[in-house]
Structure formats: structure tokens, C-alpha cells
Amino acid sequence: MDCLFCKIANGEIPSNKVYEDEKILAFRDIAPQADVHVLVIPKEHVASSANDINAENCEIVGYIFAKIPEIASLAGVDSYRVINNCGDKAGQTVKHIHFHILSGDNLSEKLV
């Protein structure tokens, strides 16, 4: 599969890593939309989007959220917004499920 985030997960494409373990990788977004903009991905391509999450593969989502406080702390923040874009109309451009951690003084007060 020709997937950008699979290539980042396996090191084929370099990334600015914030956190890594055997299951997940967190790295800086290449085009940050906030002072802090980190992406968190499962290393395995378990789902292309949140639409593919089900009872069998949902454990990784909980695992990611259990690690987000540590990842945010490593990025130097304890107040942040977590966003998942699901589908083209929601702005999803990379079809490997991922969560944005956004933080900083320039966050919009509105969600959209």
C-alpha cells in the first residue's frame, strides 16, 4: 500500500519525532497550524479513517488517548485540542488514521 504515514511509521520517510513506542508514533506536522501541532498515528495501518474503527480494532484508539497526555507534555503543553478528520469533506488528506494535537495561543475559540 502506498501510504505516506506507513512510510513515516517505518522510517522510509523521516519525521521530527516527539514520542515512539512499539505501537504508535507521534511526530511534528510538516505544515503546523498552531504553535504546537503533533500528529499521532498507529504504526500499523489498522484503519484508513475513523470510519474503519470497530469493536475489533478500537483498542489502539484508547491506547493513543492514554498516551496523549505524555505526548503533549513532551511537546511542552498541558492544554491542547485533539482533532481527527474523517473523510474528504472533513479535510482528511492522509488515509491512515491519525489524531492532531494542537496547542498554543492561536487556537480558534470555535471548533470550525
Report the catalytic residues.
98
CA-based torsion, 91, 58, 70, 28: positive or negative: negative
Binding-site size for ligand 5GP (CB under 6 A) equals 14
**Binding segment toward Zn ion, per CB under 5 A, in 25-33, 80-88, 94-102, 104-112:** 94-102
Looking at the Cβ atoms of 3 and 13, the one nearer to ligand 5GP is: 13
Annotate 36-75 with DSSP letters as a single string.
EEEEEEESS---SSGGG--TTTTHHHHHHHHHHHHHHHHT
Under the criterion CB under 6 A, does residue 29 sit at the interface with ligand 5GP? yes
C-alpha cell recorded at residue 105? 495561543
Least Cβ distance, residue 111 to ligand 5GP (angstroms): 14
d(CA 71, CA 80): 11
* CB-nearer residue toward Zn ion: 96 or 100: 96
- Which residues, 65 to 94, sit near ligand 5GP by CB under 6 A? 85, 91-94
